[in-house]
Amino acid sequence: MKKIVNGILLSAAVMSGTLQAEAKKPQRPNVLFILADDYGWMDMGCMGSKYYETPNLDRLASSGIKFTNAYASCQVSSPSRASIMTGRYTPRHGITDWIGAKSGEDWRSKKHYSKLLPADYVWNLPAEEYTIAECLRDNGYTTFIAGKWHLGDKGSWPEDHGFMINKGGWSAGSPTGGYFSPYKNPKLEDGPKGENLSIRLGNETVNFMREHKKMHSDKPFFAYLSFYAVHGPLQTTKKNWAYFREKAEKMGISEKGFEVDRTLPVRQTQDNPVYAGVIKEMDDAIGIVLDELKRLGMDDNTLVIFTSDNGGVTSGDSYSSSQLPLRGGKGRQWEGGIRVPALMYYSGCKAGTVCDVPIIGTDFYPTILDYAGLEMQPQQHKDGISILPVVEDNYCPERSLFWHYPHYGNQGGEPSSIIRKGDWKLIYYYESKNCELYNLAIDLSESESLNARYPDKVNELKAELMTWLDEVGARKPIADPLYDPKKEAAVKKNWRTKTLEQQEKNRKNMLRKGWEPNDDWWGSAFVND
């Protein structure tokens, strides 16, 4: 009996020691990933905007790390979102255009009379992809999404790819009901009439964090706050519009707001008061979440990442913003289309760090695993690296970054593939089979092609790009046998004249005192606050 008792006592002692050791282990960190939609590199105060107001994002930047050479994996949304989820470049997962865009012979219905037929692409995130949400879920994380998904139809929604709780993620890529309730979203219950969508998604995230701490304090969480903002259709409150209209007036309203750059008119000014209001509401929502994270005492054990899925909208869609000094914007092959804001915070990072090393959307998957102390998945996130060592040293071995967009963008983008290596950037165009070579260190605005001065560099980068395209099995556009250059010329002439004239008119009208938008979103007392 004595031996048994001693054995029990010994076992209890061992168990007690084990439990104490376990208690001393730091809890696996939470992850809060905040993704904006169509939010440009120059659309934050901490990136130099004098017009837009983003105090909460600026606060995140000052307390953490700001990346000045961060890139989305594509110039439009669905492909880059899939790359964040999978850690793979777009040709590998097959989603190379926003899901719903016309391709192949269906492209002719757009009546752009283009020289090429865009490549076909995958319309649902493949089930065999092992997403970051699935990986974290399988390692004990509670996984949550609030907001935009746009990676497939029913059967390929967030809950089919690792998210245990879904508030608002479904097939649509834009806010179907607009930015004020009712939302017309099958995965998000309507709030009171006039409730703002961005604030609602922030509050859903706060509610999740509170409930998680209450019910599962011993488990980490992965919260993916994926705003529909700042995607069109643009809507804000009358109060916000009036404030930013007056601000634009005080700053001085330019007579001319657009210039045609090869295809469509491109916005040259940051003076859209409605867009500024949408940004403010998103920033307010981010503030709500960050404040609650601190109030709950979880900020020191949470990795926070903020970025955008592509560059800001300077042409096409809502012609929302200017990304100068970057050329172009969403949908385009220049820096304005692919360079995005990116911020990161975690306990122990040096506040106010600025990292100039190029990073890309495929890097977030391995970065999260690295920070969480989880085993890497190299066969899955093969196109990304962990950013953590990069931040510590502000350096990583030189690597090439790639983009492939075999489509015509709604915003004037052209079928192209891109490579960036060091400061060099090469764009290959499928229509002309020509290249543009730029050195971003001396020409951030991509104003002068250096092909003639550096032919060897053109050949070197083009060869590497073509090899990569073959390795990843990239689909390419093909010539349209029905191509009519006269019809195409007529369409482009209309863009250079009538479209330009209309956008200038729209811009000035929105800045006019007494301007009124559609009745469907300024119809409630809440919205008119």
- Residue 506 near residue 319, CB atoms below 8 Å: yes
Q: Say how many C-beta atoms besides its own lie within 10 A of residue 473's C-beta.
A: 9
- Tens of pLDDT, residue by residue over 270-279, are 999 999 999 9
Peptide bond into 485 cis (omega under 30): no
Q: Does domain 27-394+486-510 have CATH number 3.30.70.3420?
A: no
520: confidence class by pLDDT, cuts 50, 70, 90:
low
Rounded to whole angstroms, the Cα distance separating 524 from 529 reads 9
List of residues 6+ apart from 12 with CB closer than 8 A:
none
Question: Is the model's pLDDT at 384 over the cut of 60?
Answer: yes
Inter-CA distances, 507 with 100, 261, 270, Å? 28, 18, 11
- Tens of pLDDT, residue by residue over 226-272, are 999 999 999 999 999 999 999 999 999 999 999 999 999 999 999 99
- Residue 485 near residue 453, CB atoms below 8 Å: no
Rounded to whole angstroms, the Cα distance separating 272 from 275 reads 5
Rounded to whole angstroms, the Cα distance separating 188 from 168 reads 5
Q: Say how many C-beta atoms besides its own lie within 10 A of residue 2's C-beta.
A: 6
- Tens of pLDDT, residue by residue over 106-123, are 999 999 999 999 999 999
Q: Say how many C-beta atoms besides its own lie within 10 A of residue 217's C-beta.
A: 9
Q: Return the pLDDT at 129.
A: 98
Q: Return the pLDDT at 392.
A: 83
Give DSSP secondary structure letters for 200-246: HHHHHHHHHHHHHHHH-TTS-EEEEEE--TTSSSP---HHHHHHHHH
- Residue 461 near residue 426, CB atoms below 8 Å: yes
Question: Is the model's pLDDT at 344 over the cut of 80?
Answer: yes
Cα 222–chain centre separation: 17
- Tens of pLDDT, residue by residue over 298-324, are 999 999 999 999 999 999 989 999 999
1: confidence class by pLDDT, cuts 50, 70, 90:
very low
Inter-CA distances, 518 with 231, 238, 321, Å? 17, 12, 21
- The full set of domain ranges for the chain reads 27-394+486-510
Q: What percent of the chain has pLDDT over 70?
A: 93
Beta bridge partners of 439: 424
Largest pairwise CA distance in the chain = 101
Instruction: Report the first-to-last Cα separation within the chain, whole angstroms.
Output: 78
Inter-CA distances, 129 with 262, 371, 384, Å? 38, 22, 15
Specify the pTM.
0.93
Beta bridge partners of 145: 166, 224
Mapping DSSP to helix (H, G, I), strand (E, B) and coil, where does residue 324 land?
Answer: coil
Q: Are strands 359-360 and 70-71 parallel, antiparallel or unpaired?
A: parallel
Q: Return the pLDDT at 527.
A: 53
Mapping DSSP to helix (H, G, I), strand (E, B) and coil, where does residue 29 land?
Answer: coil
Give DSSP secondary structure letters for 416-476: EEEEEETTEEEEEETTT--EEEEETTT-TT--S--TTT-HHHHHHHHHHHHHHHHHTT---
Q: Return the pLDDT at 522.
A: 53
Burial of 338 (0-12, 13-18, 19+ CB in 10 A): buried
517: confidence class by pLDDT, cuts 50, 70, 90:
confident
Question: Is the model's pLDDT at 13 over the cut of 50?
Answer: no
Mapping DSSP to helix (H, G, I), strand (E, B) and coil, where does residue 256 land?
Answer: coil
Rounded to an integer, the average pLDDT of 203-216 is 95
485: confidence class by pLDDT, cuts 50, 70, 90:
very high
- Tens of pLDDT, residue by residue over 447-468, are 999 999 999 999 999 999 999 9
Q: Return the pLDDT at 282.
A: 98
